[in-house]
Every structure is written in structure tokens, then in C-alpha cells.
């Protein structure tokens, strides 16, 4: 059986204490820390995926074996560097969209076709959540497809 699942969620970035100003260098350092941990863990778990950081929000897609995905998501959703973590889709996937990346960070400039309110938090399990999740997977996959050709 092909045990391939994918999961997408959106969340609000919380890299500094409320009221603290976010210095660009500090922000980049935090993002790199997240990416380093993701790469370190995901490879061993056969997880691949993409992380979008845009306008104070994250959107992330994880793909891989079902148990690995749900375990990692549980860990990620307890991370205090983000909040309001809202799952959008968690379902079998036909193929990997991010096979080349244990985790890749995408910037807003290279991602097109996302709803402008991608950070909206639809009720988990709703049609809106499913639609947004699919749109996030497609937009990030498209962006990363472009990147591999440049």
C-alpha cells in the first residue's frame, strides 16, 4: 500500500514576545533555526514539504508516511514560535509535490495564486479549509517547480 499522506496548516508567527520589535536579522535567524530542525528531523522520517513565511503568517505542507506526518504535526503544533495553528487538509496524497526538499522555505514573492487572505482560519474539516489547503499545496508546488528550473 502506498502510505503517502499530506497535511497543510496555517498559523500566526510568534517569534518574539508581544511588544518586542522584530529585527530583520533576528527574524532570519529564527527562520533558519526552524528550517535547520525541520531538515534534521524530516529526512530521517521520509517527510518532505514546504514552509511559506509571509506577512506574519506561516503556511506549511508536510508529506510522507501517515504516522510520521501526524507525529511531526503534533510536535510542530506545540511549538510556541507560532500560534493559532489551524489544520486545513490531512489526507492521502497520490504523489509528492516536494520530493526534492526535506523542507524548503518559500518567500511570498515566488508564490502566486494564493488567496490574499490565506491566513484566514477556516474551521478544520470545513469545505473552506479543504479548498484553502489544496490551494496552498498547489501554489507552493508551483513555486518550487519554478525554482528547480532556475
Which H or E run contains 68?
A: helix 66-77
By CB under 6 A, how many residues form the interface with ligand FMN?
18
48-54 sheet: strands from edge to edge: 82-92, 5-13, 57-64, 48-54, 104-106
Among positions 6, 57, 82, 121, the unique one binding ligand FMN when judged by CB under 6 A: 82
Contacting residues for 6 by C-beta, under 8 A, at least 6 apart: 61, 62, 63, 69, 89, 90, 91, 93, 97, 137
**Closer Cβ to ligand FMN, 7 or 129, answer by number:** 7
**Closer Cβ to ligand FMN, 1 or 24, answer by number:** 24
Contacts (CB under 6 A) with ligand FMN, residues 14-73: 34, 37-38, 40-42, 49, 51, 58, 60, 62, 72
Q: Which residues bind ligand FMN (CB under 6 A)?
A: 34, 37-38, 40-42, 49, 51, 58, 60, 62, 72, 75-76, 79, 81-82, 103
Amino acid at each position: 500500500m502506498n502510505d503517502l499522506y499530506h497535511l497543510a496548516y496555517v498559523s500566526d508567527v510568534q517569534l518574539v514576545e508581544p511588544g518586542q520589535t522584530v529585527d530583520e536579522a533576528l527574524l532570519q535567524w529564527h527562520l533558519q533555526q526552524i528550517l535547520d530542525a525541520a531538515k534534521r528531523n524530516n529526512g530521517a522520517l521520509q517527510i518532505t514539504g514546504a514552509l511559506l513565511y509571509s506577512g506574519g503568517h506561516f503556511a506549511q505542507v508536510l508529506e510522507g508516511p501517515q504516522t510520521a506526518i501526524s507525529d511531526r504535526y503534533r510536535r510542530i503544533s506545540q511549538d510556541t514560535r507560532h500560534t493559532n495553528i489551524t489544520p486545513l487538509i490531512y489526507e492521502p496524497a497520490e504523489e509528492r509535490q516536494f520530493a526534492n526538499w526535506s523542507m524548503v522555505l518559500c518567500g511570498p514573492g515566488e508564490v502566486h495564486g494564493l488567496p490574499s487572505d490565506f491566513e484566514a482560519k477556516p474551521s478544520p474539516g470545513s469545505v473552506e479549509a479543504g479548498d484553502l489547503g489544496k490551494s496552498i499545496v498547489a501554489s507552493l508546488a508551483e513555486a518550487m517547480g519554478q525554482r528547480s528550473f532556475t
